[in-house]
């Protein structure tokens, strides 16, 4: 089966709507060499933990806190509590299936996800929106990266 990057990116966009992050919703789809989807993931807290959009609600909402305070508090919350879409996608795929796969992400991976991607043996990443160009540059030295 031939990969249809635009269709698979739309799938990642659909998956991102399951995210409970109050700042940004990210989705990821992992596809094997035959073009079969083997896993999907979105950013959020581990199962059973307080969700970001629950934490940042009411008097703690983005609107109530103001943008600067919200972004600062969210950065701390996210670092402590949230998994990224790429991490969830890879973790939910059988480990034996990781090598040689292609990952579709609605945002380009950060450095932390980049290290996970390289360790998993993923060969190519398609992304829609740039998160950090220096992380893209780093990953591009090791695997194929393509913005679509």
pLDDT digits (tens, 9 = 90+) for 11-60: 999 999 999 999 999 999 999 988 899 999 999 999 999 999 999 999 99
Residue among 140, 143, 99, 93 at smallest CA distance from 121: 99
Q: Which residues are catalytic?
A: 86
Question: What is the residue-wise DSSP string for 61-83?
Answer: SHHHH-HHHHHHHHHHHHHHHPB
pLDDT band at 1 (very low <50, low <70, confident <90, very high): low
3-state secondary structure of 131: coil
pLDDT band at 3 (very low <50, low <70, confident <90, very high): confident
Q: Are strands 37-42 and 27-31 parallel, antiparallel or unpaired?
A: antiparallel
For the whole prediction, is pTM greater than 0.85? yes
CA 43 from centroid of its chain's CA atoms:
6
Question: What does the pLDDT average to over 110-114?
Answer: 96
């Amino acid at each position: 089966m031939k990969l249809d990057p635009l269709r698979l990116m739309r799938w990642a966009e659909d998956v991102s709507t399951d995210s409970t992050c109050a700042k940004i919703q990210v989705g990821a789809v992992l596809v094997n060499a035959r073009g079969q989807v083997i896993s999907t993931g979105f950013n959020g807290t581990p199962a059973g933990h307080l969700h970001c959009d629950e934490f940042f609600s009411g008097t703690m909402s983005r609107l109530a806190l103001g943008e600067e305070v919200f972004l600062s508090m969210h950065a701390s919350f996210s670092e402590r509590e949230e998994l990224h879409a790429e991490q969830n996608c890879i973790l939910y795929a059988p480990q034996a299936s990781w090598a040689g796969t292609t990952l579709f992400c609605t945002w380009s991976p950060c450095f932390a996800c980049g290290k996970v991607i390289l360790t998993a043996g993923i060969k190519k990443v398609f992304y829609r929106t740039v998160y950090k160009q220096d992380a893209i540059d780093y990953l591009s030295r090791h695997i194929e990266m393509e913005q679509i």
